[in-house]
């Protein structure tokens, strides 16, 4: 993952700059491995970014994390899911209309944003290393109740 994709607060870019479906898949794997607590992870997304969200979901599931498909939503919806459901974290796949870029915002088990000071650099290193060992059992995909 190019350093250009990492801002201080999220992952952002276009397919042309490297934020591809494969990159999103690896972000999901890295998030699954980085989160300190075992448990479910939610993914919410902007409607036009469902294909990127699906890649994040697949990466999480390959690493053994069950994923709640939170459907369309924003960071506030993801925070609510984490807090009310006791989740290990969340990913929000959106689109910055002003910058014309896909964004992936990651949240921890306390619904706090994973930023460059609190884990985003480590997640980037995991993506770059690519040493992912798939879980023995793929995580489930669950629909939000």
Higher pLDDT, 8 or 10: 10
Enclosing H/E stretch for 13: strand 11-13
Summarised one tens digit per residue, pLDDT across range 64-75 is: 999 999 999 999
Q: How far apart are CA 100 and CA 124, in angstroms?
A: 22
Q: Which fold would CATH assign to domain 3-130? A: Alpha-D-Glucose-1,6-Bisphosphate; Chain A, domain 3 (3.40.120)
Q: Over pLDDT 70: what percentage of the chain?
A: 97
**Residue 53 main-chain phi, psi, to 5 deg:** -60, -40
Summarised one tens digit per residue, pLDDT across range 131-144 is: 999 999 999 999 87
Ramachandran class of 49: left when φ > 0, alpha when ψ lies in -120 to 50, beta otherwise? alpha
On whether the pTM is more than 0.85, the answer is yes
Q: Is 29's pLDDT higher than 90?
A: yes
Q: Is 76's pLDDT higher than 70?
A: yes
From the number of C-beta atoms within 10 Å of its C-beta (0-12, 13-18, 19+), residue 127 rates as buried
């Amino acid at each position: 993952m190019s350093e250009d994709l990492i801002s201080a607060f999220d992952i952002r870019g276009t397919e042309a700059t490297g934020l591809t479906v494969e990159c999103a898949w690896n972000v999901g794997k890295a998030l699954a491995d980085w989160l300190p607590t075992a448990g479910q992870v939610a993914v919410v997304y902007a409607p036009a970014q469902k294909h990127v969200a699906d890649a994040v979901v697949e990466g999480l599931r390959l690493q053994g994390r069950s994923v709640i498909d939170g459907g369309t939503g924003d960071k506030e919806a993801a925070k609510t899911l984490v807090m009310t459901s006791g989740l290990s974290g969340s990913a929000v796949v959106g689109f910055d209309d002003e910058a014309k870029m896909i964004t992936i915002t990651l949240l921890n088990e306390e619904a706090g944003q994973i930023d460059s000071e609190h884990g985003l650099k480590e997640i980037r290193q995991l993506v770059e290393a690519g040493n992912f060992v798939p879980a023995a059992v793929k995580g489930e995909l669950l629909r939000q109740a």
